[in-house]
Chain A
């Protein structure tokens, strides 16, 4: 009886409990079901997953392209702004140069004007001085004449008697008569 049961046990290929090993019983290890489950999972999951990941990738690509375009646009605008800046700078320089020459010219003009005005004033001053001089000289002459006449009048009044007076009057009449003859 023991032999029968022993051979029965040998037929079932169970490894002895208590050791490592491989279980080759396909009904217990379930590989058929597992492969079916895995197959269905991969089949449906792959479609869904690649859709999701493709969407994500497209979104990333679009964002990158967008930012590249924005960068290009920004660079272009920067270039334009720089060119404008340069143009405005040259114009400003020109204005500055023109302005300086204008200022120089104005300065020279002003200086000339001032000089002429100064000269004129000088002339006026000199004329006034001369005029004053003449006036004072005339005044002095007049005074001198007045003094001389007064002296002469005094002398005449002091040493004039009737005879001298008669002789002078007859001399003057004779002079007047000659002048009237000449005319």
Chain B
């Protein structure tokens, strides 16, 4: 493989883009450690509750099969990769630079926070900045200081979804307060929000409002990736037989 001498960063992008030319829909799952990202991803992909959650080292990926525009004549099946990146916002810079490897060419972000822990919700701003700053999409937005800027999220090309976990652990009398807080949060991110308990599949049962929001989010991600008239995304227009998995293996 030839190495571009121009700059090290370009080299990294070239490598990643070569792999990205095989179609993928990549959604990051971000949040503090211990909020329940691994349980959530397991629930979304395997439709089962994760029995023995343990610390995620590095990044764990799982795949969900999603029917884009289900029930309409344009229905098509896509694979959605959920990249569950472990760690905390306060990690050492060496960990952060290594994590940045996973943030390239991201099509959607799911931000997970723990409803019983306010700090995890506050840290979501830093998480989103960390992921979006490394994203090589041509928004032209440069955040100079680490501060959160609402305008950046208003016309953000990467769709966001906010998920609050451990909903069952909030006592009845505190529910309203928590829901108001998360409503503010979802406004700030310009994103939909879902509040659930990862140990109970009932929250994402087919036909429930949560399932509808989830499905809408994935549809939006797929649309942005394949169907927008964005000149940098021309590769999305060719028709792909995504449900024929035989064409996908290259190992």
- A and B assemble together: no
